[in-house]
A and B are shown apart, each in its own frame.
Chain A
Amino acid sequence: MADETQIEEMLEYIWILEENDGKAVSSCIGDKFGEDIANTYITEMVEKQLINLSDREIAFTKAGKKRAEMIIRRHRIAERLLNDVLEMRGEEFERGACQFEHFVNEEIVASICTLLGHPEVCPHGNKIPQGECCLSAKKNLEPVISPLSLIKAGKKVKVVYISTKSHASLDRLTGIGVIPGLELTIHQKFPSMILQYGETQLALDNDIAKNVYVRIIQS
């Protein structure tokens, strides 16, 4: 299905053109992908009723728009995942996101989106199209997972996972009882973060707190 991948790439590009310039012109597609390829696929897309072509200007059909939206969403969610959680940068990051968008299904995207807390913009600052999970999250206030360091004081949270690179601070955290499943309250955030759980009050750095991922259970 090399064709499908190519079509997806093109739909994606058209979306970005529309986003940036307000309209997509077929010559731009030619510049990016090469005249021949562009012409072949534009014809194919028109046949598949994904786009309409009028006077060299390309417009999405309803089905085409929906499909493009999904691809863009996958791409930008992938970017968030690679950037925020896996901390990839540069070439690795770009390539990863591009490959990612072609092989994940909508269900996986939805869970990643939930995990990331339904982000609204990609790392470049472009808007991420909302999926069903985002809409239902707004209605149901579905619990989201985010680093401890980003949560406001006074909230009660549950530790979901801890991702620290340094063994020493991870071991010290577990030694003192901070492990997944622990419910704790954020007592204060300034001048240092203080956590309260059971009869323990624990002061810790933001550097450690941002590696502790939690779910808000009570605000």
Chain B
Amino acid sequence: MHEVKSKEIDPKVLDYRIALVGNPNVGKSVLFGLFTGKYVTVSNYPGTTVEVTRGMYSGSNDTIEVVDTPGSNSLISHSEDERVARDILLRDEEKRVIQIIDSKNIHRGLLITTQLAEMGLPVSIGLNMWDETLDRGMSIDSDKLQKILGVTLTKTIATQKYGIGALRNSINSVKIPKISIDYGRVIEEGIKEIETLLPENTTVRKRALAVMLLSYDEDLEETLEIDEQTLGQIHSIRDGVQKEYGHPLSYVIAKKRSDYVGKLLKGIVSYREHEEKAGAVLRNSFFLFFMPLFTFFVGYKVIDLLMFMFAGHMDTSGQVAWILRLAGGCVSVGIYSYYLFSREYGSGRKVTNILGTLTMHPVLAWPMLLVVLWCIYKIVGQFGAGDCVDFVESKIFGSSIEKSGGFDFKAFIPFTNIEYVFTHVNFQGINYYIGLFCQKFMSTDNFFFELFMGEEAGLIQVGVTYSIAIILPIVGFFFISFGLMEDSGYLPRLAVMLNRFFKIIGLNGKAVLPMVLGLGCDTMATMTTRILDTKKERVISTLLLALAVPCSAQLGVIAGILGSVSGTHLAIYFFVIFSQMLLVGYLSSKIIKGSSSDFLMEMPPFRRPKIGNILMKTYYRTKWFLREAVPLFVLGTFILFIITKLGILTYIQRAAEPVVKHFLGLPVETTQGFILGFLRRDYAVVSIFKALEKDAGSLEIDPNQLIVSLVVVTLFVPCLANFFVMIKERGSKTAFLMLAFILPFSFLVGGIVRYALQLLSI
């Protein structure tokens, strides 16, 4: 989720650097974008910036560099991102700091200011999200605070570009904040002793380093490269000081800091009694119109989905079914309205706050979650992966040999069956025209024609076409819906809802980000496992992504195929995959060494997402994705081309025959699908489906065979791109170990499912 790569910049020409520092989710990345004109992914989800982003200050003629640091609650490092942020402050020379504070959480922000002051860094502070502070009836006497701190405070609303000019100007008047904390005699003596042991040429004040060392910051010991002997002395000083306190020193120090800030803020922050009420029209339409409409839909859809699972056992289009659906909707409206009117209507809270509470309500949030997932599936799996992919693949790209036949521009008139055709576009597909051009020089059975335009594994016909025609719509639509979840603040609420489940598999709620992202693309999701706190969690989530999370390309095709066969079988499929995820997660959390971290996450407020931001984000993410993925797909196709040309495929098929045919009970031709799975997960599904269709001949495909093969191909190895990323992120040893586990495991589960279905005679 970090598109802008850091460039090496010759430090000589720089006047100075500006480091953007602040707590998570306070708007650093937005300001970075405004300062540099560069775009960084911005979201309403803490911990999105994992890597450091650097850029040139716009208008500075490349003499001022801006560094965006990961958000951290303390400059004493507890996690990788906090360490990254801190190390930037320790390392880079000639720097000025712009600290961004979420003004409604000013106390927490000033804790960092005290640490910056201790380091002796020149600071200017931006009090961001000023609008939300006002909304909450909170007022901050910034003039008084400015006098006390001795640094410039600027009120900003970064998303509306309010106060940005003033903040830019303030960079010329940065000062070290006038803060000095007395930690008490014993600690102060410890600090003095440690100061004498530290190397001479540190870029920040030694006092700050000494305080960090007393706070058990072991990463710092690495960063400072202190020799063994000195380290021993420092440790013994620390242990000596620790003896005087009942609590860990880190805690004592943090407490002193917090008390200091608390005293500082007395008389500066005040609250009005009530928060401002939202406009009556909006409020009433929310309560009386939107929520009833939405909740009716929720109830209706939940019943509809339930019936889909039992489609084989009841008439889902009969009168009874319709009455059930409508009743479901009405009951749902009743329940939600009861909650809203008894608890919220009179409370005067803002609509977004009410939604924020409702989306993590112990009971009412679950049906909403179900419907949100269903909507995402509709948009990504059906519209994106189905309709759009079909259209782009067959009409825009087409085939190199056959004409695509063109397409119509048409519009449906709602609620009727009439469609109005504007015009017919006589476009036969990009590949057809390239093919036509090539045929001027060579025949279609020429080696090079097959290499590039071949139907089997041509680099352009298959490689490029597939990566663009299939990925572009799916990934695009997925990023749009993901962006909506992210920016509204729904994603962290999902973490709250699913924390208990993730606990079972050795992760915690924080893992919701990579896991949900995995439903879009496992390759990308594997990269974001970095946001997890411990190595163990990163390994488990990487394994589960590779094993059990189907990406949207695959999910779309699978749901399409199985859904048309029967809802019961789709339910069985999901049950099997889900239980494997639980099982493997549970076991690996027991086997893999290391510690899991506890779930502790700040809930950002629910916000109305900005469409511009989401589209922008989607554009950059998709662009980044294509750049990473297209070469891999072309490479994969090339490997496939060689395999088919040399006839290796037949050998593999023959070798796999005992397993595929006798253990799984599938036709041998499906082997090709499994091998293709390594290249493209969804392509594998299609290829298997075709093989089964061919095998069945005029008969209908056996749904049990279908389930078995789909279970295997879902659990089966991740695609090539994902595997490369696994190697890059986790190291080749871990990646190959995972592969060695996943391969036999997927076939084993497939076999078990086959016999289980036979036993249960489903």
Binding site for B on A (CB under 8 A): 162, 166-177, 179-180, 187-192, 194, 198-205, 207-208
A167 CB contacts on chain B under 8 angstroms: 216, 248, 250
B127 contacts the other chain (CB 8 A): no
- Chain B residues contacting A169 (CB-CB under 8 Å) are 597-598, 600
Other-chain residue from B108, B357, B599 in contact with A192 (beta carbon distance below 8 A): B599
> How many positions in chain B have a CB within 8 Å of any CB in the partner chain?
44
CB of B78 within 8 Å of the partner chain? yes
**CB within 8 Å for A175 and B254 given contacts A202-B601, A203-B509:** yes
Which of A166, A170, A175, A203 contacts B601, CB < 8 Å? Answer: A203
Q: Mark B593-609, 1 if CB is under 8 A from A, else 0.
A: 00001111111010000
For A207, list chain B residues within 8 Å (CB): 598
Chain A nearest CB, measured from B510 CB (Å): 10
Taking A202-B601, A205-B600 as contacts, is the C-beta distance between A171 and B496 under 8 angstroms? no
Inside 8 A of A198's CB, which chain B residues have their CB? 104-105, 107
Q: Which residues of A contact B601 (CB under 8 A)?
A: 202-204
Our pick among B78, B132, B498 for the contact of A175 (Cβ within 8 Å) is B78
Q: Is B108 in contact with A176, judged by CB distance below 8 angstroms?
A: yes
- 13 A-B pairs with CB atoms under 8 Å apart are A168-B597, A172-B78, A175-B254, A179-B254, A191-B498, A191-B500, A192-B499, A198-B105, A200-B108, A201-B356, A204-B601, A205-B600, A207-B598
Q: Which residues of B contact A (CB under 8 A)?
A: 73-74, 76, 78, 104-105, 107-108, 111, 132-133, 136, 138, 215-216, 248, 250-251, 254-255, 258, 356-357, 360-362, 492, 495-500, 503, 508-509, 597-603, 605
Q: How far is the CB of B502 from chain A (nearest CB, A)?
A: 10
- How far in angstroms is the closest Cβ of chain B from A200? 6
Contact (Cβ within 8 A) A177 B107: yes
Q: Is A205 a contact partner of B254 (Cβ separation < 8 A)? A: no
Quick check: B600 and A203 within 8 Å, CB to CB? yes
Contact of A200 among B105, B215, B250, B251 (CB under 8 A): B105
Residue of A with least CB distance to B218? A167
Knowing A176-B108, A199-B104, say if A191 contacts B251 (CB, 8 Å): no
Cβ–Cβ < 8 Å partners of B138 in chain A? 199
Contact call B602/A202, Cβ cutoff below 8 A: yes
Interface contact A172-B248, CB-CB below 8 Å: no
Q: Which residue of chain B has its CB nearest to the CB of A177? A: B108
For residue B499, give the distance in angstroms from its CB to the closest CB of chain A: 5
Query: In the complex, A66 Cα to B499 Cα: how many Å?
Result: 51
Nearest chain B residue, comparing its CB with the CB of A196:
B603
Q: How far is the CB of B356 from chain A (nearest CB, A)?
A: 8
Q: Which of A170, A191, A203 contacts B362 (CB 8 A)?
A: A191
Return the contact of A204 from the options B215, B251, B600 (Cβ within 8 A). Answer: B600
In the complex, chain B residues whose CB is within 8 Å of the CB of A175: 73-74, 76, 78, 111, 254
Whether A199 contacts B250 in the complex (CB less than 8 A), given A173-B600, A194-B496, A205-B598, comes out as: no
Contact of A179 among B258, B492, B497, B509 (CB under 8 A): B258
Contacts of B356 in A (CB 8 A): 201
Q: Chain A: which residue is nearest B76 at the CB level?
A: A171
Shortest Cβ-Cβ A-B pairs, 7 listed: A174-B254, A175-B73, A199-B104, A201-B603, A175-B74, A190-B362, A205-B599
Is B500's CB under 8 angstroms from A168's CB? no
A192 B248 Cβ-Cβ under 8 A? no
| CB-based contact B600/A208 at 8 Å | yes
| Inter-chain contacts of B357 with A (CB < 8 A) | 187
Contact A202 B499 (CB under 8 A): no
Which partner residue on chain A sits nearest B357 by CB separation?
A187
Give complex CA distance A176, B603 in Å. 12
Beta-carbon contact of B78 and A188 below 8 Å: no
Closest partner residue, chain B, to A187 (CB atom): B357
A194 to B603, CA, bound (A): 9
CB of B598 within 8 A of CB of A188, answer no
Chain B residue nearest to A176 (CB atoms) is B73
| Residue of chain B at shortest CB distance from A173 | B600
Task: List chain A residues, Cβ under 8 A from B361.
Answer: 188
Docked Cα-Cα span, A202 to B495, in Å, equals 12
- What 12 additional pairs, Cβ within 8 angstroms, besides A169-B597, A170-B248, A171-B250? A171-B251, A173-B600, A174-B74, A174-B251, A174-B254, A191-B362, A192-B599, A200-B602, A202-B603, A203-B495, A205-B599, A208-B599
Question: What is the chain A residue whose CB lies nearest that of B534?
Answer: A168
Query: Which residue of the partner chain, among A191, A199, A201, contacts B499 with CB atoms under 8 Å?
Result: A191
CB <8 Å contact, B496 and A203 = yes
B602 and A176 contacting across the interface, CB-CB below 8 Å? yes
Q: How far is the CA of A169 from the CA of B595 in the complex (A)?
A: 12
Distance in Å: Cβ of A145 to nearest Cβ of chain B = 16
Chain B residues near A191 (CB-CB < 8 A): 360, 362, 496-500
Contact B74 A199 (CB under 8 A): no
- List, in ascending order, chain A residues with CB within 8 A of B136's CB: 199
Please determine whether B598 and A208 come into contact, CB atoms closer than 8 angstroms: yes
Q: Of A180, A188, A190, A202, which one neighbours B600 at CB under 8 angstroms?
A: A202
Closest approach, in angstroms, between the C-beta of B410 and any C-beta of chain A?
Answer: 46
Interfacial chain A residues near B499, Cβ < 8 Å: 191-192, 203, 205
Query: Which residue of B has the minimal Cβ distance to A204?
Result: B600
**Contact: A188 with B362, CB < 8 Å?**
yes
Q: Are B603 and A177 in contact (CB under 8 A)?
A: no
In the complex, are the beta carbons of B598 and A204 less than 8 A apart?
A: yes
Q: In the complex the two chains form, is A172's CB within 8 Å of B73's CB?
A: yes
Complex Cα–Cα for A180 and B362 (A): 28
Query: How far, in whole Å, are A46 and B74 apart by their CA atoms in the complex?
Result: 67
Q: Give chain B residues whose Cβ lies under 8 Å from the Cβ of A190.
A: 362
Known A167-B250, A192-B500; judge A172-B108 contact (CB<8 A).
no
Q: Is the CB of A192 within 8 A of B76?
A: no
Complex CA distance for A180 and B246, rounded to whole angstroms: 14
Are A188 and B360 also in contact (CB < 8 A) when A171-B76, A179-B258, A199-B136 are?
yes
Closest-by-CB residue of B relative to A201 is B603
How many Å from the CB of B563 to the closest CB on chain A?
29
Residue of A162, A168, A192, A208 most packed against chain B (CB within 10 A):
A192
Instruction: Give A175 Cβ to nearest chain B Cβ, in Å.
Output: 4
A191, B74: Cα distance in complex, Å: 28
| Cα(A147)–Cα(B525), bound, Å | 37
Q: A179-B254, A191-B362, A191-B496 are in contact. Are A204 and B73 (CB under 8 A)?
A: no
Query: Which of B74, B105, B497 is close to A171, meaning CB atoms less than 8 Å apart?
Result: B74
Kindly state the separation between the CA atoms of A198 and B105 in the bound complex, as whole angstroms: 7
Q: Judging by beta carbons under 8 Å apart, are B509 and A192 in contact? A: yes
Q: A203-B495, A203-B496 are in contact. Are A174 and B258 (CB under 8 A)?
A: yes
- Nearest to B72 among chain A residues (CB) is A175
- For residue B508, which residues in chain A have a CB less than 8 angstroms away from its CB? 205
Distance (Å) between the CB of B595 and the closest chain A CB? 8
Question: CA of A199 to CA of B129 in the docked complex: distance in angstroms?
Answer: 12
Q: Which of A177, A190, A199, A207 has the most CB of B within 10 A?
A: A199
B168 to chain A, nearest CB (A): 27
Q: Which residue of A lies closest to B215 (CB)?
A: A171
What separation, in Å, do the CA atoms of A207 and B132 have in the docked complex? 32
State A163–B133 Cα separation when bound (angstroms).
33
Among residues of B, the one whose C-beta sits closest to the C-beta of A195 is B603
List of B residues within 8 angstroms of A173 by Cβ: 600
- Residues from chain A with a CB closer than 8 A to the CB of B216 are 167
Cross-chain contact A174 with B496 (CB below 8 angstroms):
no
State the CA gap A175–B46 with chains docked (Å).
15
Q: How far is the CA of A168 from the CA of B356 in the complex (A)?
A: 29
Q: How far is the CB of B139 from chain A (nearest CB, A)?
A: 13
In Å, the complex CA distance between A167 and B78 comes to: 9
Question: What is the CA–CA distance of A182 and B251 in the complex, to the nearest angstrom?
Answer: 14
Residues of A close to B362: CB separation below 8 A: 188-191
Given contacts A167-B216, A167-B250, A194-B360, contact A174 B255 (CB under 8 A): yes
With A192-B599, A205-B499 given, is the CB distance from A168 to B78 under 8 Å? yes
Alpha-carbon distance A205/B503, docked complex (angstroms)? 9
Contacts of A174 in B (CB 8 A): 74, 250-251, 254-255, 258
Interchain nearest-CB distance for A201 vs B (Å): 4
What is the chain B residue whose CB lies nearest that of A163? B247
- The residue on A at minimum CB distance from B103 is A199
A158 CB to closest chain B CB, in angstroms?
A: 14
